[in-house]
Structure 1
Amino acid sequence: MEKLNLLTELHNQAHKEAESFYTQGNKAAGTRLRKVMLDIKKLTDEVRKDVQAIKNDEK
């Protein structure tokens, strides 16, 4: 569950950076948004692997 909480925090950060990038044209916010999105991708892959490992252990 800790990883899901971290995903929520990353999502909130991404939303903030996206708003700054798209509405204010802040290019640095676009760079930060891309980094956060990559972090989200990596974390979601970890969660998927954890779920699959737990499912496989139950067999």
Structure 2
Amino acid sequence: MSRFSEVKDLIHSMEEDFQKFYEKGNKAAGTRVRQGMQELKNLAQDIRKEVQDKKNAG
């Protein structure tokens, strides 16, 4: 379950940058959003692999 907490924390940490980019047009915040989304993608892929490994081992 700690992986789920990591996902929630990552999304929560990006909230301010999302607002800055979409509401204020801050391009630097857009770069941080893109970086955060890449981290989220990598984390999701790791979780998918972990779940698949546990499913196959069980």
Q: CA deviation at 1:53?
A: 0.3
Alpha-carbon distance between aligned partners in 1 of 2:33 and 2:16, rounded to the nearest angstrom? 9
Q: CA deviation at 1:15?
A: 2.3
What's the counterpart of residue 8 of structure 2? 8
In angstroms, what is the RMSD of aligned CA positions? 0.9
Residue 7 of structure 1 aligns to a residue in which SS?
Answer: helix
Q: 1:1-24 CA deviation, whole Å, 9 max, x = no partner?
A: 221111101111222211110111
What's the counterpart of residue 39 of structure 2? 39
Pair 1:51-2:56 in alignment: no
Identity of aligned residues (%): 38
Give TM-score, length-normalised by structure 1: 0.90
Give TM-score, length-normalised by structure 2: 0.91
Q: What runs of 5+ residues in structure 2 fail to find an aligned partner? A: none
Q: What runs of 5+ residues in structure 1 fail to find an aligned partner? A: none
Alpha-carbon distance between aligned partners in 1 of 2:2 and 2:9, rounded to the nearest angstrom? 11
